C-alpha cells in the first residue's frame, strides 16, 4: 500500500512574514491521510525546519547540487540539506530544465547525489504542449526517466518519488484530465516494472500541474496517482490542506 504524498513546491515565493503564516496554517491542520511535505526556497529551509520540529510535516528542497562540496557557487549540497532537516529534494523540475538548461545528465547526477546523501529525490518528468500534440508524450517521459535509471541504477529508486508534471499544465490553470494523467502514470510505472517489479509497485508517482482543491479528488482517485506536487495552491494553507484532505 502506497501512502499518498502531497508536496508543496513554493518555488521563488514568500517572505519571512508569509512563511510564518503559511507554516502556522499548515501546522494547525488536523491529521490528514497523506504525508505532507513543503519545499520552501533554500534560504528559508532552516527556519521552516525549525518551525516544523515535532510536526509530521516533512521538509524538502527545490534542488540539490550534483557535487559533494567545493567551488560550486550558488549550489547547495545534499549534506547541507540534511543539516537543515530536509528529507526530500525536487530534481529535474521543468523550470530548471527549460530556464536554467539542466540536461537529463545533470538531473541524473543530482538525483544520484541526493540518494547518496540520504535525501529522497522527487524526480520531475513531463512533456511540453508541442510534444503532446506530436503524440510523443510517452517517449519524452521514458527518455527522461531512462536517463536517470541508466545513470543511477534502479536500486536508487527504492526511496525515490516521481512527479509527472506536464509542462503545459504548470502554472497555466490548464490541468491534465484524470484520464490523461493516469495514462502517463501507468506508463511510468510500467517502465519501472520492466526494471524491477518491487520498485515499480512501491514507488509514489505524484501529479503536478494546476492541481487545486477543485480538481484534486478526481486526480487523486486514479489508480496510479499517489499524490500531488503542488505549486500555486501550496502557497495558501487552506488550499494546500484541502488538497491533502482530498486524498481521503
Give the residues lining the site for ligand 13P (CB under 6 A): 9, 93, 165, 170-171, 208-211, 229-233
- Burial class, 247, CB count within 10 angstroms (exposed 0-12 / middle 13-18 / buried 19+): buried
Q: Which is nearer to ligand 13P, 170 or 188 (CB)?
A: 170
CA angle 111, 64, 155 (to 5 degrees): 20
Residue among 35, 93, 127, 185 flagged as catalytic? 93
In the complex, what is the shortest distance from the CB of residue 7 to ligand 13P, in angstroms, rounded to a whole number? 8
Q: Which is nearer to ligand 13P, 154 or 242 (CB)?
A: 242
Task: Tell me, yes or no, if 159 is annotated catalytic.
Answer: no
Tell me if 110 sits within 8 A of 153, measured CB to CB: no
Question: DSSP 3-state assignment of 112?
Answer: helix
In the complex, what is the shortest distance from the CB of residue 209 to ligand 13P, in angstroms, rounded to a whole number? 5
Residue among 35, 109, 127, 165 flagged as catalytic? 165
What is the C-alpha end-to-end distance of the chain, expressed in Å?
A: 14
Nearest CA-CA partner of 156 in 105, 117, 213, 99: 117
Task: Tell me, yes or no, if 130 is annotated catalytic.
Answer: no
In the complex, what is the shortest distance from the CB of residue 70 to ligand 13P, in angstroms, rounded to a whole number? 28
Q: Which is nearer to ligand 13P, 117 or 228 (CB)?
A: 228
Catalytic residues: 93, 165
Amino acid at each position: 500500500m502506497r501512502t499518498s504524498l502531497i508536496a508543496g513546491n513554493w518555488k521563488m515565493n514568500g517572505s519571512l512574514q508569509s512563511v510564518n503564516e503559511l507554516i502556522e496554517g499548515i501546522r494547525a491542520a488536523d491529521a490528514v491521510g497523506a504525508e505532507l511535505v513543503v519545499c520552501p526556497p533554500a534560504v528559508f529551509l532552516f527556519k521552516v525546519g525549525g518551525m516544523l520540529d515535532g510536526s509530521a510535516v516533512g521538509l524538502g528542497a527545490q534542488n540539490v547540487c550534483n557535487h559533494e562540496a567545493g567551488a560550486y557557487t550558488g549550489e547547495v549540497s545534499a549534506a547541507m540539506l540534511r543539516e537543515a532537516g530536509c528529507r526530500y529534494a525536487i530534481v529535474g523540475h521543468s523550470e530548471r530544465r527549460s530556464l536554467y538548461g539542466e540536461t537529463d545528465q545533470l538531473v541524473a547526477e543530482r538525483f544520484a547525489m541526493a540518494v547518496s546523501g540520504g535525501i529522497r529525490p522527487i524526480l520531475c518528468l513531463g512533456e511540453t504542449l508541442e510534444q503532446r500534440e506530436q503524440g510523443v508524450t510517452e517517449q519524452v517521459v521514458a527518455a527522461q526517466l531512462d536517463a536517470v535509471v541508466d545513470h543511477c541504477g534502479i536500486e536508487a529508486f527504492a526511496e525515490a518519488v516521481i512527479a509527472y508534471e506536464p509542462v503545459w499544465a504548470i502554472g497555466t490553470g490548464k490541468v491534465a484530465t484524470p484520464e490523461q494523467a493516469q495514462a502517463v502514470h501507468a506508463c511510468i510505472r510500467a517502465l519501472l516494472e520492466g526494471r524491477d517489479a518491487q520498485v515499480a509497485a512501491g514507488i509514489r508517482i505524484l501529479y503536478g500541474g494546476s492541481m487545486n482543491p477543485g480538481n484534486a479528488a478526481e486526480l487523486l482517485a486514479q489508480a496510479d496517482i499517489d499524490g500531488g506536487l503542488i505549486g500555486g495552491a501550496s502557497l495558501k494553507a487552506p488550499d494546500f490542506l484541502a488538497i491533502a484532505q482530498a486524498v481521503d
